[in-house]
Structure formats: structure tokens, C-alpha cells
Amino acid sequence: MPSDSLQASGSFLVVALSNIFGGVVASIHGVLMIIVVLVWDFGIVIFNLSTPNHASTRVVPQGYAGANGLWPKYDPPVEGNSRCSCPALNAMANHGILPHDGRNITFRELNTAVRTTYNFAPSFCYFVPNHMAGILDRNYWSDRFDLADLDVHNGVEHDASLTREDPFFQNDQSTVSVPLVEKLLKSGTGPNGDLTPADFSRLLSERRAESRARNPQYSQALQHKLLGSFNSAAMLTCFGGKIKDLRPFLLEERIPDNWQPQITSRMGLTLAAVNGVLARVELGVEDVGAKREKLKAA
């Protein structure tokens, strides 16, 4: 073999081996990270069970935006501001809890802001922004993002959402679909017309069937179904499914005056607790379109 091709195949081998090694290290690191977060989350579950809850009027810690129900002024976005598909993050930017322009946010800043504003547990507030950083191929510890960056399709953002048209119909995922939200707000069968887990299961069944029928690029992997149910679980836990609070939150992306998170556990909503609600919602979803496609294929 001539020496040039020997050198070329040698360097190909080095690149291939280092890629394989890098991939293996990254997978081990990923699995270890998940194990550490789950153990941490379990510790918080035990802590929450063995400590008294916050008083319902004093969930946000003193010294943080929203303590005693006093939220910073609501200031809707203006031209040039960055917003995304998540009402919870947009609302924080609209109140200046995250930078109002929605730009150059650190993942660590997002962690703290979600924890103190909505009382989600530190394990959740590390895991989700860290997962998001991975999707964007950025470093959780040192990189920054604009809110609109989070809308990468089929990352966390997905088809058949309850508050946004699919990206096939609406490229700008910060745009609230008023008809979809109005439908959601009229769907509660609980006391005062508030939303229950069964209501979210029904809404998601209808929305997935409708999206599958209308959107020629419709896709819904299992992880996206679970993310859809997770968002419903967030509305059920953090907002108690209450229409009077969900209306300004979803339509104006505004935190209501005097509002406090309905999650009162001492260290906040754990991944374990939110997954319990998520499972209840998702198990009640009837994916009629998927069943029909399976029957056709059989």
C-alpha cells in the first residue's frame, strides 16, 4: 500500500475510534446524569413528605419576584423581543423575571427563575434546562439562548399542542392560538368549570386526531406525546386547573395579581410527582388516528 493511503486509512481509524470513544463517553455521562437526577429527585420526594407544606399564600420565597403575591409589572412583548412556545417562560419575560427582551438567557438563570416562580423542584429545574441545552447542542453551564431558540421542532416543541397551531400552519410558535386556548378554557368539567385530568385526556385525544387529519407533516413520537401530557400536568399541578388563572396565563402570558403556585410542597414539584399526573393524563388519551392507522397496516 502506498504510504499516502496508509496515512489516510490510519487517520480515518483514529477519527473513527475517537468518535466511537466520544460517543460512548457521552452516553455513559448521559445515563449517569439521569441516575444522579433520579436519586436526587427521590431524596426531595422524601423531604417533601416529611416537612410541612408552605402556606398557600406564601409559596414564592421571600425576596423573590412574586413573594406575597406581588408580581413585577406586566409588560407585553414589543417588536424585536424574543418569545417561544412556552407560556410559562414567556410570562416570566413579560414580568421581567427573565430578561424582558427574552435574549441571552443562561440555562442556570432559567433553572433558578422556574424554581422560585413556579415552585418546581431543583431536580426538575436542572433536568429540563439541561435537556434543552443538549437539544440545542449548547453547554448548560456556560452558554446562553434566546427564548425563540427553544422552538426547534420535535425537540421539546411538537405537533398537536393545546395552545399553538402546528408549525406547518404557524411558523412563529410564540403566537398563541386564541381559538385553541378558548376551547381549552371552555372544556373544564370540574367545580367552577375548572379542568380535570380527564378533561386534558379528552382534549389531547381530539387535538391529536385533528392534527393528524389536517397536517400533512404531522408527527408524534412517544416522547412528544409524553411532553404534551407533561404540559397538561403542569397546568393541573401549578395552576390547579383553575380557569380564572389559566385565562390570563394562556391568553396574555401574564401572571395574575396575588397568584401563588398551587404546588405547596416545601421543595417543589418533583419529576416523580409530575410524572404521576402525566401518566394519569396520558393513559386516558385515546389516539383514535393512530389506532386507525395500525388497523389499516394490519
Q: Does 86 bind ligand HEM (CB under 6 A)?
A: yes
Strand, coil or helix: 8: helix
Q: Does 164 bind ligand HEM (CB under 6 A)?
A: yes
Minimum CB distance to ligand HEM, residue 204 (Å): 8
Closest to 277 in 3D by CA, of 246, 248, 236, 239 = 236
Given a contact cutoff of 8 angstroms between Cβ atoms, the answer to whether 109 and 99 are in contact is: no
Question: What is the rounded CA–CA span in Å between residue 47 and residue 267?
Answer: 8
Region of residue 165 (left: phi > 0; alpha: psi -120 to 50; beta: else): beta
Q: Which is nearer to ligand HEM, 81 or 91 (CB)?
A: 91
Minimum CB distance to ligand HEM, residue 110 (Å): 6
Q: In the set 234, 236, 277, 278, which binds ligand HEM (CB under 6 A)?
A: 234
Which range binds ligand HEM by CB under 6 A, 43-51, 69-77, 113-121, 284-292? 113-121
Which range binds ligand HEM by CB under 6 A, 35-43, 194-202, 233-241, 276-284? 233-241
Question: What is the rounded CA–CA span in Å between residue 166 and residue 197?
Answer: 23
Given a contact cutoff of 8 angstroms between Cβ atoms, the answer to whether 152 and 173 are in contact is: no
Q: Does 231 bind ligand HEM (CB under 6 A)?
A: yes
Minimum CB distance to ligand HEM, residue 86 (Å): 3
- Phi, psi values for residue 145, rounded to 5°: -145, 160
Minimum CB distance to ligand HEM, residue 128 (Å): 4
Closest to 244 in 3D by CA, of 269, 230, 270, 262 = 262
Binding site for ligand HEM (CB under 6 A): 85-89, 110, 114, 118, 120, 128-129, 132, 150, 156-158, 161-164, 228, 231, 234-235, 238
